[in-house]
Structure 1
């Protein structure tokens, strides 16, 4: 399953956006208002829970300076990645696209597609406000 958010313009250069996204504590600022729990587990891992949803643990999987940050599920039960692709526009702005990649059976994919799409839209929109 592949879901991609529309490109969003952020009023920060790509170095600043990259620095923001590599500090996992900042993901709390990007979460939807319905966040129930957010906790940093170690320098590469955090967990969060939205109201009525199970906890999700994300681990930093890859970083390419000023271009991409990839987080992945810490559990092998539901393997997926959430990537932020950063492109510089000029010295004061950049564009960010979020993409979700996961391998799910058809039933699971049908159940989670809308919530994940909405979640990514919220993360993307909140990123424009940093």
Structure 2
């Protein structure tokens, strides 16, 4: 299953946005309002939980300087990734979109598609407000 957020314009250079996203503690600023837990576990790993959902651990897996940051599920039963693609628009303005990719059976995909879409859209909107 692949879910892609709309592209968001961010008032930061691609380098600033890249540096913001590679510092995992900054993801707390992007989380939805219904977050019930956020904890940095290591320099490249954090845990979060949304109300009524299980805890999820994400680990920084790939960094392509100034244009891509990829996080992956760490220790979960279902493999998935969350990737931010960053494009420079101007010296202090960039554009980013988020892509969620996961392997789910058809029943699970139906159940999680709505909440995951809402989640990545919220991350994207909050990125635009930085």
- Would the TM-score normalized by the shorter structure come out above 0.5? yes
CA distance in structure 2 between the aligned counterparts of 1:75 and 1:119, rounded to whole angstroms = 20
**Runs of 4+ more than 2 Å apart:** none
- Residue 44 of structure 1: how far off its partner (Å): 1.1
In the alignment, structure 2 segments of 5+ residues that lack a partner are: none
- Residue 75 of structure 1: how far off its partner (Å): 2.2
In the alignment, structure 1 segments of 5+ residues that lack a partner are: none
CA distance in structure 2 between the aligned counterparts of 1:30 and 1:15, rounded to whole angstroms = 18
Q: Which residue of 1 aligns with 2:50?
A: 50
Give the TM-score of the pair, scaled to structure 1: 0.98
Q: Which residue of 2 aligns with 1:72?
A: 72
Q: What does residue range 3-82 of structure 1 map to in structure 2 within 5 Å?
A: 3-82=3-82
Give the TM-score of the pair, scaled to structure 2: 0.98
Q: Which residue of 2 aligns with 1:110?
A: 110
RMSD value, Cα: 0.6
Q: Which residue of 2 aligns with 1:90?
A: 90
- Residue 76 of structure 1: how far off its partner (Å): 4.8
- Residue 92 of structure 1: how far off its partner (Å): 1.3
**Partner SS state of residue 126, structure 2:** helix
**Partner SS state of residue 96, structure 1:** strand
